[in-house]
Amino acid sequence: MKYKKIDTKLFVKNRKNFVNKLEQKSIAFFNSNDIYPISADSTLPFDQHRDIFYLSGIDQEESILVLFPESKNMSYKEMLFIRETNEHITHWEGEKLTKEQAKNISGINNIFWLGEFDDILRDVLKKVDFVYINTNEHYRQNVQTQTREDRFIKKLKKIGGLNLKKSNPILQEQRSIKDNIEIKLIKTACEITKMGFERVLNFIKPGVWEYEIEAEFSHEFLKNRSRKFAYTPIIASGRNSNFLHYIYNNKQCLDGEIVLMDVAAEYANYSSDMTRTVPVNGKFSKRQKTIYNAVLNVKNEATKLLRPGILWHDYHVEVGKIMTSELLKIKLLDKSDVQNETKKIPAYKKYFSHGTSHHLGLDTHDYCDLKMPMEKNMVLTVEPGIYIKEEGFGIRLEDDVVINDNGGPTNLMSNIPIEIDHIEELMNSK
């Protein structure tokens, strides 16, 4: 992999915390993602299932992690099954993990070849009361496709007589609190994102195309050990900045427009998530400045709310009040708008239609239990926006922050330019 080796202590700790939450006499299984075909002999680039990576650090296809903490056979307490390679595979696909390499990455002593899995599976299933399966239950999950995990669950159900339980509720809670090693990895992704943003500030000018800006980010990310964008990049100039998930990136950027860039790097499978909005010609208009500063004020005030103990729902209600106040100040709303609002449709939603924050980590929209109060070492985005369709532009600003025990959160993107004067200075220093 392009990234540097991650401290094995992270994966050892993650497994220990996970198995401590299992019922007695339990076993848990985690499968790698598939390699997905496109057509003919083409495939999408492999992207590891985040749960098996979180618990083992293994970033290779056709791997299975098995956790059986109460096994009387020491070789079965923690097992990792990996693909056995040969000269033919190595010649065509490159080297695969050896057992020793898998051990060094994961901290798991018992490494088996995948061909041994079925025999061991039959043996261990006779000795447990509960079998933990891994299902995707993220609150935003809406993709319907059969995964390697799904096929394994079908296999278990065909065996029959098993008391199945779900790993996901444990992982929803556990993965939402980040280890310091994880925070450093996210910070590295943020630093790479910073390099990309500073690069494009010296590139953007009237006449460039959105896809050219995307290419500049890609160049800088790859050069600094990021394997890819953390998510599909949004490079939205002019009226496109009003479209929340605009990903075509195929418009020419014109003099007088702004360009909204929701784009960030991943590092070692950990995501960053940044949005910046800048003037194509290097100078914000008076109106653009007014809206920009309103969004920045909301972002700064919303960030202060992120402290241990605050509930997800209450946080978003408070941010709504802050946004309403700003929209009144800049006269996008008036008192009658607020008087006539409903609980279901607050007045501010006319100009700010999406949520303010989401959890961040191995996934851009990371695992979390939204009923949990905020806790130390949760990592979240803060991303308010104001979108004015009738004026043909929208502005969004986004940083990534870590909740602390005392005081406000730590902004992992505090060194990425965001103030108007700083951005204009950098854009005009070519």
- pLDDT tens digits, 104-142: 999 999 999 999 999 999 999 999 999 999 998 877 776
How far is it between the farthest Cα atoms of the chain?
A: 74
Give CA–CA dist 104/109, Å, rounded.
9
Number of Cβ atoms within 10 Å of the Cβ of 87 = 7
Q: Which of 413, 155, 108 is nearest to 274 (CA)?
A: 413
List, by residue range, all CATH 3.40.350.10 domains of the chain. 9-176
What pLDDT does residue 193 have? Answer: 98
Please give the structure tokens belonging to residue 141. 């999950």
Task: Give the residue-averaged pLDDT of 45-68.
Answer: 97
What pLDDT does residue 137 have? Answer: 80
pLDDT grade for 430, boundaries at 50, 70 and 90? low
What pLDDT does residue 40 have? Answer: 85
pLDDT beyond 70 at 221: yes
Taking only the tens place, the pLDDT of each residue in 275-298 is 999 999 999 999 999 999 999 999
List, by residue range, all CATH 3.90.230.10 domains of the chain. 180-427
Which amino acid makes up residue 44?
Answer: L
What pLDDT does residue 1 have? Answer: 80
Task: Give the residue-averaged pLDDT of 70-76.
Answer: 97
350: helix, strand or coil: helix
Following DSSP, what letter does each residue of 62-121 receive, concatenated? S-EEEE-TT-SSGGGSEEEEEPPP-HHHHHHH-----HHHHHHHH--S-EEEGGGHHHHH
Q: What is the model's pTM?
A: 0.96
Q: Which of 259, 290, 251 is nearest to 275 (CA)?
A: 259
pLDDT beyond 70 at 248: yes
Which amino acid makes up residue 395?
Answer: I
Q: Which of 245, 250, 242 is nearest to 233 (CA)?
A: 245
- The CATH number of 9-176, from 3.40.50.300, 3.90.230.10, 3.90.79.10, 3.40.350.10, is 3.40.350.10
Angle of helix 180-201 relative to helix 9-19, nearest 10 degrees, comes to 130
* Average pLDDT score, the chain: 96
Give CA–CA dist 99/113, Å, rounded.
8
Please give the structure tokens belonging to residue 45. 């680039």
HSE (CB half, 13 Å, CA atoms) of 304? 7
Q: CATH class for domain 180-427?
A: alpha beta
Share of the chain above pLDDT 70, in %: 99
Whether the Cβ atoms of residue 374 and residue 403 lie closer than 8 Å to each other: yes
Task: Give the residue-averaged pLDDT of 377-385.
Answer: 98
pLDDT beyond 70 at 422: yes
Rg (CA), the chain: 24
pLDDT beyond 80 at 79: yes
Q: Which of 177, 178, 176 is nearest to 186 (CA)?
A: 178
Please give the structure tokens belonging to residue 335. 């008192």
What pLDDT does residue 143 have? Answer: 67
Give CA–CA dist 427/419, Å, rounded.
12
Q: Provide the strand spans (E) within 96-211.
A: 111-113, 130-133, 164-166
* Strand 379-382 versus strand 399-402 pairing type: antiparallel
What pLDDT does residue 69 have? Answer: 98
